[in-house]
Amino acid sequence: MATTTTTTTGFTPGMLPDEYESLRRQVAKFADTEVAPVSAELDAAHRFPYELVARMGAMGLFGLPFDEEHGGMGGDYFALCLAIEEIARVNQSLAITLEAGVSLGAMPIHRFGTEEQKREWLPQLTDGSGLAAFGLTEPEAGSDAGGTRTKAVLEDGTWTINGSKSFITNSGTDITRLVTATAVTGTRIGGDGQEKPEISTIMIPAGTPGFTAEPAYDKVGWNSSDTHPLTFDNVRVPEENLLGERGRGYANFLRILDEGRIAVAALSVGAAQGCVDESVKYAGERTSFGRPIAEYQGISFKIARMEARVVAARTAYYLAASRMLAGLPFKKEAAIAKLVAGEAAMDNARDATQIHGGYGFMNEYLVARHYRDSKILEVGEGTTEVQLMLIARELGI
């Protein structure tokens, strides 16, 4: 896919440039014909979808925003968001596997890696044959990432890393190639004259002695995605495994989070849209007192409100993506998109479950999976409260 130049006016829902629309249709067909039929089985078995990941790799989805020189498709971040949205309509677990594999796994290497690091790692991440993860969150450092306790000591050209990470996506699969972890590598004097921890990011290949992906979490939702706590017990890696400038790990990851919020917003929009699609279909087929329930105003108005949420959330993430690609500030817009879309996904899942009645409580129904899956969209990659804080700060309050 060739890169399309965007303007400050951004993208318009329903009026995408041809190459974006072609990609969206291709991924939508894949989602409907190959992903949807096996999603309930994967969810029930808590099984990671290796076959579907390989298929997405062959389609080039993991390489969408990367240059062809490093194995990518030469597209952009908005193309990735469109793909994530379409997959999330039918399977959030697979969508988060793609989102985390690209925006949290490969993107830090693309943004901050040396040419040698890019050539070594990106080709196997952009073709879907391997996955990378980012270890930021710790048991006592979530939204407060500055509270990192993992430490890395450099001696004789080798980093020795000790600590732990929590809730790390794509960190324990058979195709996980590396985890990039934030760690305290020393101290620095801040602008206020106070001593502060120096946080850097270090790449740790899978299989490195002392690096353990602990047993997977038993989650409420996203059951076929891969999520583990990690431990580092005297893990030793070469000095050149430092990713980016020493001491810039936290600042660099804040940039990655800003971008990632747009992708998670796209995932949330896909989930919200999936709830609308299922509700429209069910309301037209289900009868009560001799009439399709869609004819009752209580149902039709509920679905109309669901659709309004989708349109508002999609418009928000399109705006954030367009500003990002145009080189304009987008922190506030990304936070708004994440906030609005995450709430839309959860609200639509709740309403769709209500419309389906008892069937909405059955796990084989897509709306039940969306109900379980969507809550994390108000938590992951920055809670709702963090988004509100960021928006307020950008307003100067």
Total structural domains within the chain: 3
Q: What is the overall mean pLDDT for the chain?
A: 94
Residue 347 within any structural domain of the chain: yes
Residue 141 within any structural domain of the chain: yes
394 is catalytic: no
The pLDDT, as a whole number, for residue 188 is 83
DSSP string, 267-309: HHHHHHHHHHHHHHHHHHH-EETTEEGGGSHHHHHHHHHHHHH
Residue 324 within any structural domain of the chain: yes
d(CA 23, CA 62): 13
Using alpha carbons, select from 346, 349, 365 the residue that is nearest to residue 282: 365
With 90 as the cut, is the pLDDT of residue 147 above it? no
Give the long-range contacts of residues 322-328, CB within 8 A, separation 24 or more.
Answer: 322/6, 322/7, 322/8, 322/9, 322/10, 322/11, 322/78, 323/8, 323/10, 324/77, 324/259, 324/262, 325/6, 325/76, 325/77, 325/78, 326/6, 326/7, 326/8, 326/10, 328/8
Q: Are residues 268 and 372 in the same domain?
A: yes
The pLDDT, as a whole number, for residue 1 is 54
Q: Are 16 and 70 in contact (CB under 8 A)?
A: no
Helix (H, G, I), strand (E, B) or coil at 73: coil
The pLDDT, as a whole number, for residue 384 is 96
The pLDDT, as a whole number, for residue 313 is 98
Cα angle 368, 44, 217; round to 5: 95
Q: Are residues 379 and 259 in the same domain?
A: yes
Helix (H), strand (E) at residue 84 = helix 77-88
Q: What's the rounded mean pLDDT across residues 176-201?
A: 90
The residue segments making up the domain with residue 114 are 18-131
The pLDDT, as a whole number, for residue 146 is 64
With 50 as the cut, is the pLDDT of residue 211 above it? yes
Q: Are residues 386 and 349 in the same domain?
A: yes
* pLDDT tens sequence across 284-296: 999 999 999 999 9
* pLDDT tens sequence across 39-95: 999 999 999 999 999 999 999 999 999 999 999 999 999 999 999 999 999 999 999
Question: For residue 354, how many other CB atoms are within 10 A of its CB?
Answer: 14
Considering 131, 165, 182, which residue would you say is the last residue of a domain?
Answer: 131
Residue 5 within any structural domain of the chain: no
With 90 as the cut, is the pLDDT of residue 191 above it? no
Q: Are 230 and 168 in contact (CB under 8 A)?
A: yes
Q: Are residues 258 and 166 in the same domain?
A: no
With 70 as the cut, is the pLDDT of residue 143 above it? no
| Per-residue confidence band for 141, with pLDDT thresholds at 50, 70 and 90 | confident
Q: Are residues 239 and 263 in the same domain?
A: no
Answering whether pTM is above 0.85, one says yes
Considering 187, 216, 246, which residue would you say is the last residue of a domain?
Answer: 246
d(CA 232, CA 152): 10
The pLDDT, as a whole number, for residue 5 is 43
Residue 124 within any structural domain of the chain: yes
With 90 as the cut, is the pLDDT of residue 144 above it? no
Considering 110, 131, 152, which residue would you say is the last residue of a domain?
Answer: 131
Q: Are residues 304 and 347 in the same domain?
A: yes
Task: Identify the CATH number of the domain in which residue 126 sits.
Answer: 1.10.540.10
Residue 172 within any structural domain of the chain: yes
The pLDDT, as a whole number, for residue 8 is 41
The pLDDT, as a whole number, for residue 265 is 98
| Per-residue confidence band for 14, with pLDDT thresholds at 50, 70 and 90 | confident
Q: Are residues 258 and 335 in the same domain?
A: yes
Q: Are residues 138 and 235 in the same domain?
A: yes
Residue 93 within any structural domain of the chain: yes
Residue 148 within any structural domain of the chain: yes
Q: What percent of the chain has pLDDT over 90?
A: 89
* pLDDT tens sequence across 231-282: 999 999 999 999 999 999 988 988 999 999 999 999 999 999 999 999 999 9
Q: Are residues 372 and 239 in the same domain?
A: no
Q: Which of 85, 86, 378, 381 is catalytic?
A: 381
Q: Are residues 285 and 379 in the same domain?
A: yes
d(CA 58, CA 289): 50
Task: Identify the CATH number of the domain in which residue 140 sits.
Answer: 2.40.110.10
Task: Identify the CATH number of the domain in which residue 333 sits.
Answer: 1.20.140.10
Q: Are residues 258 and 377 in the same domain?
A: yes
With 70 as the cut, is the pLDDT of residue 112 above it? yes
Q: What percent of the chain has pLDDT over 70?
A: 96
Q: What's the rounded mean pLDDT across residues 342-350?
A: 98
The pLDDT, as a whole number, for residue 3 is 44
* pLDDT tens sequence across 262-275: 999 999 999 999 99
Q: Are residues 177 and 239 in the same domain?
A: yes
Q: What's the rounded mean pLDDT across residues 110-131?
A: 97
